[in-house]
Amino acid sequence: MLDIRGVTKSYGTTKVLTDVSFTVGDGRLTGFVGANGAGKTTTMRIILGVLSPDSGTVLIGGIPVTAGDRRRFGYMPEERGLYPKMKVAEQLVYLARLHGLSPASARRNTGDLLERLGLGARAGDTVESLSLGNQQRAQIAAALVHDPEFLVLDEPFSGLDPLAVEVVMSVLAGHAAQGVPVLFSSHQLDIVERLCDDLVIIADGEIRANGSRDALREQHGSPRFEIRTAGDTGWIRSQPGITVIDFDGDHAVFEAETDAASQAVLHRAVALGAVHSFSQQRPSLATIFREVIA
C-alpha cells in the first residue's frame, strides 16, 4: 500500500501541488484523473523520487519510501522515450538489470513480456524502426520488465489503437490481480471508468475527490430512476414525491425525493403488470469529473 501524505510542491512562486494526500491500495487499480496542468505528472514524479517535494512524504507500508524501494517501482513517463538506436530486447534487459535483476532473469522477463505484448517478433529491432503503437508497447514493457511491486503509469493508453488498449488493460489488471498497487492517469475517462477500482481526481494541484469508483458514484449519484414495464407508465406522474423527467409510453425516467417514494413506484408497477427493468441511473465518470472540478 502506498500513501501520499500532505505533498506540496512549488516551482518558484507557482504552487503546483497543495497538500496532496491519497492512497493506492494493494491490488487496486487506481485511476488518477485531472485536466492538463492539474499536477498529475508532478505528483507521479514525486512518488518516483525523480522530483523531491517541498513538504510531505510518500510512504510504503507506513514507512517513508527509500531509493531501494523505488528500484522496485515501475514507471512509464508521460513523454515516452527509449534509446532510439538500441534493440528492443537489449534495452529491456538493460533497464531490468538497472533495477537489480540478474542477467538471466532480466532476459527471461524480457522474453515473456514481449510475447505477452505481441512484440516477440520485433525483439531484435531497434526502437526507432518500430511503429508508434509498437513503440508504445515497448514503453509499457519497460515499466513492467522488472516485476515491479508498485506501478505508476502516466497516460499509458494515449496513442494506443483499441486492440492495444485491450492488451494493456489486461496486462495492468493482471498485475493488480497479483496484489500490485497500480496508479495510472488518463484523459480517456471511459477507459478509466471500465478499468479502475479507485479514483483520485485532482484539479489545480488539489485533490478534489478520492475513493472507490462505486462509492464516488454513490456520492455523486443523482436521485434518478429509470423504469421499463409491459404497460403504460403514465400513472407515475400522480405518485407522491415523484417528478417525471422523461416519459415515453412503457418507459419513464423520474426523480424521487426519498427512497421510499421510488420503492412505492416499483411496488405499484409490479402490482400493475410485468416490470422489465428498474434501475437507479449511475452518473458517468465524465459527469462526476465535471461536477468535482467545477
Partner 1 sequence: MNNETHTAPTFAQSVWLVSNREITARLRSKSFLIATGILLLISMASVIVGSIVSQNTSLTKVAVVGTALGVVEQTKAFDIVESDTVKGAEALVRDGTVDAAVVPSDSADSLLGITVIALDSAPRDVLGTLSVSPDVKILEPASQDGFLAYLVAIGFGIIFLMSATTFGATIAQSVVEEKQTRIVEILMSTISVRALLAGKVLGNSLMAFGQIVSIGLLVSIGLAVTGQRVLLADVGPAIVWFAVFFAFGFVLLAALYAATASMVSRQEDVGSATSPVLFLVMIPYFMVVFFNDNPLVLAIMSYVPFSAPVGMPVRIFLGQAEWWEPMLSLVVLALSTMVVILIGSRIYSNALLRMGARVSLREALKG
| Interacting residues toward partner 1 by CB under 8 A | 45, 48-51, 67-68, 70-73, 75, 77, 79-86, 94-95, 97-102, 105, 108-109, 112-113, 142-143, 146-147
Minimum CB separation from partner 1 for residue 131, in Å?
Answer: 17
Of the two residues 80 and 213, which places its CB atom closer to partner 1 in the complex? 80
Q: Which residue has the cell 489503437?
A: 161
Minimum CB separation from partner 1 for residue 106, in Å?
Answer: 10
Dihedral of CA 171/173/178/183: which sign? positive
Minimum CB separation from partner 1 for residue 98, in Å?
Answer: 5
Of the two residues 12 and 62, which places its CB atom closer to partner 1 in the complex? 12
Of the two residues 81 and 159, which places its CB atom closer to partner 1 in the complex? 81
Distance CA 192, CA 201 (A): 12
Of the two residues 84 and 273, which places its CB atom closer to partner 1 in the complex? 84
Helix (H) or strand (E) holding 48: helix 40-48
Minimum CB separation from partner 1 for residue 235, in Å?
Answer: 59
3-state class of 279 per DSSP? Answer: strand
Distance CA 243, CA 93 (A): 63
Minimum CB separation from partner 1 for residue 118, in Å?
Answer: 16
Q: Which three cell numbers stand for residue 148?
A: 515491479
Of the two residues 3 and 154, which places its CB atom closer to partner 1 in the complex? 154
Nearest to 185, CA basis, from 144, 155, 227, 212: 155
Judged by phi (left if over 0) then psi (alpha if -120 to 50, else beta), residue 178 lies in alpha
Minimum CB separation from partner 1 for residue 93, in Å?
Answer: 10
Of the two residues 110 and 233, which places its CB atom closer to partner 1 in the complex? 110
Q: Catalogue the E-assigned strands of 115-239.
A: 150-154, 182-185, 198-203, 206-212, 224-229
Q: Which three cell numbers stand for residue 164?
A: 492495444
Q: Which three cell numbers stand for residue 204?
A: 489545480
Angle between helices 88-98 and 132-144 (to 10 degrees): 20
Distance CA 74, CA 61 (A): 17
Minimum CB separation from partner 1 for residue 188, in Å?
Answer: 21
Of the two residues 38 and 95, which places its CB atom closer to partner 1 in the complex? 95
